[in-house]
Amino acid sequence: MCDLAVNAIAFGVLNAEGIIAYCSSSFAHVVAAAQGTPVAGGSITHWLEPESGPLSSPWFSSNAAIEGTLRLKRRNKIIRYRPEPITSFTRETEGGAILFLGDDTLTLNLIHAQAFQLNPGLSAISVLETGEHLDVNPAWLNAMEYQRGDVIGRTAQDMNIWENTSFRSEVVRQLTKYGHVDNLQGRMRTQSGNLRDIIVSAKRVSYFGRILAVFASHDITEVKKSHADLEALNRQLESRVAERTAELETKNTQLLDAARLAQAANDAKSRFLATMSHEIRTPLNAIINMAELLLEIKSNDLDKKYLVNIVNSAHSLASIVDDTLDFAKIEENELKIVPIEVNVEAIVEEVVRSLAPLGHRKGIEFVLTHAPRLPESIRIDPTRLRQILYNLIGNSIKFTRSGWIEINVDLVVTNDEHELLLSIQDTGIGIAPADQNRIFDRFSKLSPGSDDATSGTGLGLSIAQGLAQAMGGRITVDSTRNHGSTFSVALPVRSCSAPPSGMTVSEVIILGPESRTRSALEAACAGLGIASRVAGRETALSGSPSRTAALVVLPLSVSPPSAIELYQRARSLCSRVIVFSPIGQTIDTLPSVLFENSQLEFYPIGRSSLRAALSEQDSTTQTAEVQQIAPSLSGTRILVADDVEENRLVIEWGLRACGAHITTTDNGEDAIRLMQQDVFDLLLLDLRMPGLDGYQTAARLRSLGGRIGGTPIIAVSANATPDASKMEAAGIKDFLAKPFRPSHLRSMVLDVLGRSSRGRQVDIVQNRRPILDAAFLTAQMNYAGPEAICRAIDVFCGQLKQRLEKIEMSRNDKDRIEAIHRLGGAASSLGLSELFNLCVQLEATFKHHSPVTRAEKIAAIRMIGESSIFYLKRYQNDLFF
């Protein structure tokens, strides 16, 4: 045992017989003095004896701890002892005790060992009653800045150590009452007057009749200072966090303000685009309607062909204007793709033929080819396909100075997946590799130094790529600088029919200088199963009865003698001659004999148009919707149920002009009653009516069964996207959106009645127009007459005030929405497109707006509505003056 604190204590371990099993060095020193005689292993009685009587073993088996005095035999000295019985040790010592010995010096050593060696903090021993210091350790002296001689024998009061004397009084009280003090916090004063924070623990001990206090304290001044510093740091951090939070809140407010400004700018952009599309669409409508009127009165085939191209191009341009706003939708991933079954050949040919004149004027040859396996019908979104083609082909025309542009259409099948492939190849300026990586980015243009680098907005290719991706496809480019470019489009589709079958035509002969158009014509004939031979200047051919026709391909620039020579040679080879001239080129300078006994066609030409031309069919009749003469509905009885008078008048005008007998009603109950009283071939039913709405009316009619339940129903509504599930539940299969043109109405009626083989094409897109679409109203007047138009205008103007007041004054939302719906329906019938759009938008979103926003939108409806009266009256006056 080398531990000083332990060896300083005089103790020995005795077994039950009083044999010393172990003892400390101090114990051996006390009992054996300086003789050096071994102590362990001997009997305790050899060294010690009671002051009176022997020390007997039964005493060691006692469980009581007592104190007393013993006599040292060799020194004849009285010494104090304290035995502590061993309750559990080893079997050899069971029933023994630990015997502590000590004189005055040794007992104080024991106290020292407990207070000093075992406590690393501030230790002190003092008399409890007086406070006299008997001893302190070096840590105490160092912390309190004292020398040992300045402390021993002096009291705490003399030294003025405690900051508060009441603290010492509390320590004395607890030691007196409880015998100990645990972790009591106070402050002690150093010799220099500094205060130290102390945690005090103390124990009361007896020392030869005196009560001592043994202190084991700890200086926590630095700890408290660290805590204070930490708290200050925490407060500083909290302050910084608060400041940063305030800054972030300010930044957030600024960001919100910026977002609102950005939204306002975006709204302004949308309004600008809408306004521009309004202004562009107005003259476009005039172009379309005037061209349609010319088609009805022109008998010259050549004029009709040009007019058809004007109408088709104008319709395509109108579609592009409508889709200008799609750019924002592409960015917001809100673009709607509506695939339908269409003739892709016809769509591509329509786009190519409308753009080819721009290339022909630059001397660029335009070529259109189709793969033989391309089916007649494919399921795809035709509007988006047109827009992609217009952007890509227009881009090729822009950057091609000379040479040719070829458009190829194909369909590939991989693992039962169909993909439409379109390629637009040109001999233009090409695209540098650095530009190819960003050519589809917004506002991207060619690198500086390139010709045409600064022209255009840089949005065309970005829109095309966005449309392709929205359709699940992609656009790629392969280009070499100064060697042209090839843009490839791949779109997933569904093939709906097989490739077209062969023709009865057996053979044709093709005349004309070598060109890509002549080669494409050869390939097209081969795809149709027609044999073809090319007759060059040196080719010797004779007439053959098996040849159906001679095809003369005029180059972009041809002199009259050359044209006559080609024609005469063709006439010598075949009785039927078809002359192919570049579309958009002036042919007035060519000899009239060229066209007197031949059929004139224009190129580029698609497979379907070539088939029609060779079959002696006029291909223009398949693409010009306006050439359809209004078919007869004579004898057809049609019931119209609509709660808006103007709507009933529009339908009545459009169908009565075709000979239909029209009966009208303004509610669902009367519609059911009339259906039960009379026989009708068709019911045109508004979906939103007071009382029984269109869905409920249709459901009741279907429940009647028989003739009434089987009557065809066409739903009519200003809502372009009705509830499909409710329509199906009500047994309604056909739908026509307002506003509609009379031709669309007749087409729908004929399709439902089964009297027309023409495919159904119902335009349900709500076009934005100026306050009054005069072209739309004029189209209505052509069927109804000026008197009916004036009567409808008078009805609308007379009821407008009452309708506006109902919107503004109704107490419940349902009545307000109903009034808004009725006003919108009336507006659509008279071409008041802006008022119609405002009503439709507010009706659809009414419940989502706050009262303030509703009031603003209703105020806008009143302003546009009152302005509409002015435009209607002015239009009415123009009819008679």
Other residues' Cβ atoms within 10 Å of the Cβ of residue 829: 29
* Backbone φ and ψ of 405, nearest 5°: -130, 125
Give the three-state DSSP class for 329: helix
Residue 540 has pLDDT above 80, yes or no: no
Q: What is the mean pLDDT of residues 557-580?
A: 81
Residues 744 and 750: their CA atoms lie apart, in Å, by 10
SS3 content of the chain, % helix, strand, coil (to 5): 45, 20, 30
Residues 217, 198 contacting (CB under 8 angstroms): yes
Q: What is the mean pLDDT of residues 689-696?
A: 88
Mean pLDDT of the chain: 77
Greatest mean pLDDT among 54-58, 109-113, 672-676, 720-724: 672-676
β-pairing verdict for 133-136 and 122-127: antiparallel
Residues 392 and 440: their CA atoms lie apart, in Å, by 11
Give the model's pLDDT for residue 539.
54
Greatest mean pLDDT among 246-260, 501-515, 606-620: 246-260
Q: 532 has which bridge partners? A: 508
Please name the helix (run of DSSP H) or strand (run of DSSP E) that holds residue 282, with its range, or none.
helix 221-297
Residues 835, 858 contacting (CB under 8 angstroms): no
- List CB contacts of 606: < 8 A, sequence separation 6 or more: 345, 346, 348, 349, 352, 368, 370
β-pairing verdict for 210-219 and 364-370: unpaired
More confident residue, 299 or 41: 41
> What's the pLDDT band for 112 if we cut at 50, 70, 90?
low
For Cα atoms 335, 289, 339, give the angle at the middle one, nearest 5 degrees: 25
Residue 453 has pLDDT above 90, yes or no: no
β-pairing verdict for 507-511 and 547-553: parallel
Residues 196, 98 contacting (CB under 8 angstroms): no
Give the model's pLDDT for residue 406.
94
Residues 247 and 103: their CA atoms lie apart, in Å, by 76
Residues 686 and 692: their CA atoms lie apart, in Å, by 11
Q: What is the pLDDT of residues 117-137, one digit of tens each?
A: 556 788 888 888 888 888 888
Give the model's pLDDT for residue 544.
56
Calculate the CA 114 to chain-centre distance: 76
For Cα atoms 364, 423, 417, give the angle at the middle one, nearest 5 degrees: 160
Residues 173 and 217: their CA atoms lie apart, in Å, by 17
Name the burial class of residue 685, with classes exposed (0-12), middle (13-18) and buried (19+) by CB atoms within 10 angstroms of its CB. Answer: buried
Q: What is the pLDDT of residues 634-670, one digit of tens each?
A: 678 899 998 877 677 767 767 876 778 889 998 999 9
Residue 275 has pLDDT above 90, yes or no: no
Q: What is the mean pLDDT of residues 97-115?
A: 63
Other residues' Cβ atoms within 10 Å of the Cβ of residue 734: 18
Q: Report percent pLDDT > 70 for the chain.
A: 74
More confident residue, 729 or 274: 729
> What's the pLDDT band for 93 if we cut at 50, 70, 90?
very low
Q: What is the mean pLDDT of residues 244-257?
A: 89
Residues 321 and 329: their CA atoms lie apart, in Å, by 14
Examine residue 561 and say whether the peptide bond preceding it is cis (omega within 30 degrees of 0): no
- List CB contacts of 101: < 8 A, sequence separation 6 or more: 10, 11, 12, 27, 30, 31, 70, 79, 80, 81
DSSP string of 790-833?
Answer: HHHHHHHHHHHHHHHHHHHH-SSHHHHHHHHHHHHHHHHHTT-H
Residue at 309: amino acid letter: N
Residues 523, 369 contacting (CB under 8 angstroms): yes
Q: Which range, of 43-52, 209-218, 379-388, 452-461, averages the lowest pLDDT?
A: 452-461
Residues 348 and 389: their CA atoms lie apart, in Å, by 8
Q: Which range, of 68-72, 262-266, 274-278, 555-559, averages the lowest pLDDT?
A: 274-278
Give the three-state DSSP class for 423: strand
Calculate the CA 303 to chain-centre distance: 51
Q: What is the pLDDT of residues 400-438, one digit of tens each?
A: 988 999 999 999 888 778 899 999 999 998 888 888 777
More confident residue, 744 or 628: 744
Q: What is the mean pLDDT of residues 7-11?
A: 63
DSSP string of 347-412?
Answer: HHHHHHHHHHHHHHHTTEEEEEEE-TT--S-EEE-HHHHHHHHHHHHHHHHHT--SEEEEEEEEEE
Q: Which two tokens stand for residue 585?
A: 């080129």
Task: Calculate the alpha carbon distances from 203 to 126, 127, 361, 768 in Å.
Answer: 11, 12, 116, 97
CA end-to-end span of the chain, whole Å? 133
More confident residue, 424 or 288: 424
Please name the helix (run of DSSP H) or strand (run of DSSP E) that holds residue 53, with its range, or none.
none
Residues 507 and 504: their CA atoms lie apart, in Å, by 9
More confident residue, 773 or 518: 518
Q: 216 has which bridge partners? A: 123
Greatest mean pLDDT among 450-454, 625-629, 777-781, 856-860: 856-860
Other residues' Cβ atoms within 10 Å of the Cβ of residue 496: 16
For Cα atoms 274, 279, 282, give the angle at the middle one, nearest 5 degrees: 120
Give the model's pLDDT for residue 97.
80
Q: Which two tokens stand for residue 854?
A: 């509703």
Q: What is the pLDDT of residues 781-811, one digit of tens each?
A: 766 677 778 888 888 888 888 888 888 888 7
Q: Strands, DSSP E only, in 496-572?
A: 507-511, 531-535, 547-553
Give the model's pLDDT for residue 512.
87
Q: What is the mean pLDDT of residues 845-855?
A: 76
Calculate the CA 725 to chain-centre distance: 27
> What's the pLDDT band for 491 if we cut at 50, 70, 90?
very high
Give the model's pLDDT for residue 766.
32
Q: For residue 659, is it left (φ>0), alpha (ψ between -120 and 50) or beta?
A: left
DSSP 8-class letter at 406? E
Residue 513 has pLDDT above 80, yes or no: yes
Q: Which two tokens stand for residue 238?
A: 């909290």
Residues 423, 488 contacting (CB under 8 angstroms): yes
Q: Which two tokens stand for residue 843?
A: 């009706």
Task: Calculate the alpha carbon distances from 855 to 162, 703, 822, 846 in Å.
Answer: 80, 42, 18, 11
Residue 764 has pLDDT above 50, yes or no: no
Other residues' Cβ atoms within 10 Å of the Cβ of residue 7: 17
| Of 578, 412, 454, 439, residue with least CA distance to 508 | 578
Give the model's pLDDT for residue 456.
52
Alpha helices in 615-767 (DSSP H): 645-656, 668-677, 694-704, 706-709, 724-730, 742-753
Residues 224 and 219: their CA atoms lie apart, in Å, by 10
Give the model's pLDDT for residue 572.
82
Residues 605 and 602: their CA atoms lie apart, in Å, by 7
β-pairing verdict for 474-479 and 417-426: unpaired
Q: Which range, of 277-286, 461-470, 565-574, averages the lowest pLDDT?
A: 277-286
Residue at 278: amino acid letter: H
The single residue listed with the structure tokens 């750019």 is: 327
Residues 171 and 410: their CA atoms lie apart, in Å, by 103
- List CB contacts of 4: < 8 A, sequence separation 6 or more: 113, 117
Give the model's pLDDT for residue 119.
66
> What's the pLDDT band for 767 if we cut at 50, 70, 90?
very low
Q: Which two tokens stand for residue 281?
A: 């669409």
Examine residue 283 and say whether the peptide bond preceding it is cis (omega within 30 degrees of 0): no
Give the model's pLDDT for residue 420.
92
β-pairing verdict for 122-127 and 210-219: antiparallel
Q: Which two tokens stand for residue 673?
A: 């009653």
Residues 697 and 681: their CA atoms lie apart, in Å, by 17
Give the model's pLDDT for residue 756.
34
Q: Report percent pLDDT > 90 for the chain.
A: 11
Residue 282 has pLDDT above 60, yes or no: no
| Of 631, 626, 651, 628, residue with least CA distance to 750 | 631
Give the three-state DSSP class for 73: coil
HSE-CB of 251 using CA atoms within 13 angstroms: 6
Q: Which range, of 748-752, 776-780, 786-790, averages the lowest pLDDT?
A: 776-780
Q: What is the pLDDT of residues 196-250, one digit of tens each?
A: 999 998 888 876 667 888 888 888 888 888 888 888 889 999 989 988 988 898 8
